[in-house]
Structure 1
Amino acid sequence: MRMRKLGKTDIDVSLICLGTMTWGEQNTEQEAFEQLDYAVDAGINFIDTAEMYPVPPKLETQGRTEEYLGNWLARRGRRDDLVIASKVAGPGNGLSYLRGGPRLTREHIREACDSSLQRLQTDYIDLYQVHWPDRSANFFGKLGYEQNPKESMTPIEETLGALDELVKEGKIRHVGLSNETPWGVMEYLRLSRENNWPRVVSIQNPYSLLNRSFEAGLAEFAHREETGLLAYSPLAFGMLTGKYMGGKWPEKARLTLYERFVRYTGDHAADATRAYVELAYQQGLSPAQMALAWVNSREFVTSNIIGATSMEQLKENIGSTEITLSADIVSAIEAIHSEFTYPCP
């Protein structure tokens, strides 16, 4: 398993990060343990979770994913061998049941962190990420920015100041962002520099063959400021595996089970998906592994967050690290991208 530095830290993380958001909804605790055992044996040392998981978020399941991971850590005794990442939820996603509606204030961040530590059964979190901005911004499915004159925004200064306290107390080691924009990254870096507060080490945003919006403004930040991308949804909710092509809706698949996931199901996205899947088959590759291998090859990517509901999927996804795409395949991918530049935000 290839390793890459996490920002400007001394931490090496695996190129593949094990995502966990299905645990407690589509996956049982036993299945989560099986995934963890296999992934760690395969050389993965980076595990990503969040206080709001599993997804879709619900009151009755909130925090269950962290609990599963915490139970595994307690039973296996492997805490010091792994880099554990979690997230504090910002407003949005209908999480009114979480602290009366989560905000990125000092009070909310401290409460969220303490609760995550308890569920994870650990004294510290290696990477604590701000799950999405506490302001109006063009994130998570929005390409265009629209000003909201009535917005209620928690100042980034308050958010980063609270995270600084947690670092000094030893509860978290490093700070990351998720679903963030270039302006937001700039503000976090500015405030870090001016106040000697923790420096952002990563940006966890969507990135795949169907969604390359990260390249427009954030890839340069990731490169020049060493705030590498933790790419989530690299298979676009499974679309890039080709399993939904031709109007198929496989039983127990995420898009079959949950109507809320419509981000990658439009006609334009379906046409782009078909082109990528056909290219993979022409080259004798698994569509999933080609899509993941392409993400793995991007220099501004620190780690590629893969998720799976079956061991077969997990093994195939991890196997993408053994594939090197030829220059001809990359050129063909770019040609498809030129035709379908933004099939979905």
Structure 2
Amino acid sequence: MTPEMRKLGRTGLEVSSLCLGTMTWGEQNSEAEAHAQIDMARERGINFIDTAELYAIPPRPETQGRTEEIVGSWFKRTGRRDEVILATKIVGRSNFTWFRDGEREATLTPEQIEEAVNKSLRRLQTDYIDLYQVHWPDRTVSQFGSNATIWKSVEPAADEVPIEETLGKLGELVQAGKIRHVGLSNESAWGAMRYLQAADEMDLPRVASIQNAYSLINRTFEINLAEVAMREEVGLLAYSVLGQGYLTGKYRDGALPEGSRKKLFDRLQRYETPGSARAVNAYLDLAAAHGLDSAQMALAFAHSRPFVTSVILGATSLQQLSHDIDCTGVEVSEELEKAINAIHQNHGNPCP
């Protein structure tokens, strides 16, 4: 089975309903392994690649930008840039000082956006980026991902960059031909609508997509953003659909496989919240009861949602990537969806 093609917002572009994620490249994956993943993705009908100036993960000054460089070297080696819809991201407000010249903390000012996009273009060895996304907001938010289930009041930064100013600069880059379209990531319904309002009122680029976490254990996108996505045609690019591996079952009952992200980096706290293990186990048991692979069931569920434009796949091996692409052959029947929703009603969103 191959992914279907879906419209990217109102851009006129069509992207595959599965997207090749890249954040392990340059850390867990070598350049040769990453190139092999791109080759397989293209052979299997995927035309959409997502990266970021932040990557590889975990973020370190030694590896920052390395993933974009690997994508760029594939373009140079193959000469196949025109086959790919390329998405990358600029970091939001961050106290990391290795992204910008002069060891400055990152913000979404026009000057920093110009610097960031020029550096990404050089690393990617391309003249244009199809979808340039704000990785997370410049404003201070209650929780990373901007969709907190428990609200925590936060003070705005004294030098918060207005959304209109950020979008205005992105509009200049569209006019210059450096980027084609604009997207958001880790954004809330309020933030998305403010970007859309600014676009309408100021004749600026309209956001085409929202890249947020979405999985069986984090369906917070459905609460407010799904309506935005459907009515405004700003589809979800779903990341972490496997809950950073928890929904594959590989960490069940405290298992810690060699080479796993948890074993290597111990950075999976978003998926180790109170109640998360019970919810994960319920979904793993449901997949087994239906004779399904749990990873493919989780991916197929996200892939079948009407507000999803593309599901981002993250794999460290060709075997994993091929297995994940095969999720397009899994049907989410009415019976299965009813059972999934019943678990959701009992367990909610333990990992927002």
Q: TM-score, normalised by structure 2?
A: 0.96
Q: Distance in 2 between matches of 1:77 and 1:237?
A: 33
Match for 1:26 among 6, 28, 45? Answer: 28
Match for 2:267 among 242, 247, 260? Answer: 260
- Deviation digits for residues 103-134 of structure 1 (CA, Å, limit 9, x no counterpart): 10000100000000000000000000001001
The match for 1:129 is: 133
- Deviation digits for residues 47-77 of structure 1 (CA, Å, limit 9, x no counterpart): 0000010010000110000000000011111
* SS of residue in 1 equivalent to 2:40: helix
Q: Distance in 1 between matches of 2:253 and 2:184?
A: 37
Match for 2:74 among 52, 62, 72? Answer: 72
Q: Distance in 2 between matches of 1:228 and 1:150?
A: 29
Query: Is contact 2:140-2:157 (8 Å) kept?
Result: no
Q: Which amino acid aligns with 2:165?
A: E
Which aligned pairs between 1:194-343 and structure 2 lie closer than 5 A?
Answer: 194-343=201-350
Shift in Å, 1:146: 1.5
* Match status 1:84 vs 2:86: yes
Query: Is contact 1:293-1:323 (8 Å) kept?
Result: yes
* SS of residue in 2 equivalent to 1:201: strand
* SS of residue in 2 equivalent to 1:270: helix
* SS of residue in 1 equivalent to 2:275: helix
Q: Distance in 2 between matches of 1:312 and 1:283?
A: 23
Shift in Å, 1:149: 5.1
Query: Is contact 2:242-2:248 (8 Å) kept?
Result: yes
Identity level (%): 56
Shift in Å, 1:261: 2.3
Query: Is contact 2:140-2:156 (8 Å) kept?
Result: no
Larger mean CA deviation between 133-142 and 67-76 belongs to 133-142
Query: Is contact 1:57-1:95 (8 Å) kept?
Result: no
Q: Which amino acid aligns with 1:131?
A: H
Shift in Å, 1:139: 4.3
Q: Distance in 1 between matches of 2:272 and 2:261?
A: 12
The match for 1:106 is: 110
Gaps of 5+ in 1: none
Larger mean CA deviation between 173-182 and 257-266 belongs to 257-266
Shift in Å, 1:145: 4.5
Larger mean CA deviation between 17-26 and 321-330 belongs to 321-330
Q: Which amino acid aligns with 2:99?
A: L
Gaps of 5+ in 2: none
Q: Distance in 2 between matches of 1:226 and 1:66?
A: 28
Query: Is contact 2:237-2:310 (8 Å) kept?
Result: yes
Query: Is contact 2:139-2:157 (8 Å) kept?
Result: no
* SS of residue in 2 equivalent to 1:180: coil
* Match status 1:165 vs 2:134: no
Q: Distance in 1 between matches of 2:87 and 2:212?
A: 14
Query: Is contact 1:175-1:201 (8 Å) kept?
Result: yes
Shift in Å, 1:235: 0.4
Shift in Å, 1:45: 0.2
- Deviation digits for residues 149-168 of structure 1 (CA, Å, limit 9, x no counterpart): 55531111110011000000
* SS of residue in 1 equivalent to 2:228: helix
Structure 1 vs Structure 2 CA RMSD: 1.1
Query: Is contact 1:139-1:180 (8 Å) kept?
Result: no
The match for 1:140 is: 144
Query: Is contact 1:237-1:264 (8 Å) kept?
Result: yes
* SS of residue in 2 equivalent to 1:255: helix
Larger mean CA deviation between 61-70 and 132-141 belongs to 132-141
